[in-house]
């Protein structure tokens, strides 16, 4: 991460100074930010600062990196949680419906929606929704995240970005749910349960869905990690503050301290999501917990 950012074309000092740069100013800024030192020396200092909790000062914003990351992180967490809710609310029912109505018109329609969701990139869906739901119908605001403490107003700003970010994952989740549930429904123990007189609803709720959730959780965990990375594009389309948008802006400005801190934040987020997924495996299937 440290080396890749510094190998990226572009000079942060020249970007900061723009048309007003002079050799004297360049030398002053390089000395201030330690950019005049060899890369190994810069790396050792960077690691030492990270270990002591000092992430540095943003070249671009001239603010403490920790403050900038802390201000942007809640917006991205809101978007990620909302996108996961969209993924589950759309993907799980579609997958269950397709599995229960296999080889029917309902199955075909559900899988067609899933196919369109997988094929269409999130930013394209975002632009379509902006044109129809915001520009034409005026139902939702387009830019920003909503100011103040009005939760209802903030939710209105959150709907379109969450759907744009979560719909692709919902499509993948629907296909995974269908395949997993069909596999479970063919198991002998479910036939035995039905033969003992259990209703189809009881069999589905108490046995089939629970055992079909393992691969579904795996996909959901992977998709949540992917959402954290893809959030930047959606945040830019909707001009919404967040870690992803701030990261893209920081990379464009060659702001090394801020870029490194944001990438590390996303990396930690992905690791935590994977750990949470492993914990959920054990809750859903006790055999994994006791293995």
* Chain segment 194-217, per-residue pLDDT in tens: 677 666 677 776 667 777 788 888
Tokens representing residue 92 in the block: 């799980």
Q: Is 57 left (phi over 0), alpha (psi -120 to 50) or beta?
A: beta
Reported pTM: 0.83
Relative orientation angle of helices 209-237 and 65-100, to the nearest 10 degrees: 130
Q: Comparing C-alpha atoms, which of 269, 195, 202, 261 is closest to residue 231? A: 269
- 3-state class (DSSP) for residue 116: helix
pLDDT, one tens digit per residue, over 227-285 is 887 888 898 999 888 898 899 888 888 888 899 899 988 888 888 888 888 777 777 66
pLDDT at 288: 62
pLDDT under 70 in the chain at which residues?
148, 190, 194, 197-200, 205-207, 284-291
**Cα–Cα distance measured from residue 88 to residue 177, given in angstroms and rounded to the nearest whole number:** 11
Give the integer Cα–Cα distance in Å for 234 and 231.
Answer: 5
| Token couple for 277 | 């997924």
d(CA 96, CA 176) in angstroms, rounded, equals 10
- What pLDDT is recorded for position 287? 64
CATH 3.50.50.60, domain 68-289, yes or no: no
Domains of the chain: which residue ranges?
2-51, 68-289
Burial class from Cβ neighbours inside 10 Å (0-12, 13-18, 19+) for residue 94 reads: buried
* DSSP code of residue 288: H
């Amino acid at each position: 991460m440290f080396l890749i950012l510094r190998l990226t074309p572009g000079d942060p000092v020249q970007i900061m100074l723009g048309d007003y740069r002079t050799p004297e100013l360049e030398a002053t800024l390089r000395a201030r930010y330690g950019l005049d030192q060899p890369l190994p020396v810069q790396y050792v200092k960077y690691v030492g600062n990270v270990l002591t909790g000092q992430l540095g000062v943003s070249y671009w914003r001239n603010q403490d990196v920790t403050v900038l990351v802390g201000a942007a992180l809640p917006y991205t967490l809101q978007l990620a949680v909302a996108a996961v809710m969209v993924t589950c609310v759309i993907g799980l029912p579609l997958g269950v419906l397709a599995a229960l109505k296999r080889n029917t018109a309902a199955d075909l329609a559900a899988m067609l929606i899933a196919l369109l969701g997988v094929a269409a990139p999130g930013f394209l869906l975002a632009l379509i929704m902006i044109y129809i739901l915001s520009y034409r119908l005026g139902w939702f605001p387009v830019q920003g995240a909503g100011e103040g403490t009005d939760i209802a107003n903030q939710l209105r700003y959150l709907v379109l970005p969450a759907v744009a970010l979560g719909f692709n994952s919902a499509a993948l989740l629907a296909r995974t749910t269908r395949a997993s549930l069909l596999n479970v429904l063919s198991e002998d123990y479910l036939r035995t349960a039905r033969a003992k007189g259990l209703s189809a609803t009881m069999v589905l709720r108490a046995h089939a869905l629970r055992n079909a959730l393992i691969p579904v959780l795996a996909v959901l965990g992977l998709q949540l990690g992917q959402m954290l990375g893809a959030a930047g594009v959606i945040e830019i389309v909707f001009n919404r503050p967040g870690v992803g948008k701030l990261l893209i802006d920081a990379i464009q400005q060659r702001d090394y301290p801020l870029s490194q801190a944001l990438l590390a934040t996303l990396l930690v987020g992905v690791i935590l999501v994977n750990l949470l997924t492993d914990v959920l495996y054990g809750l859903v299937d006790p055999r994994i917990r006791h293995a």
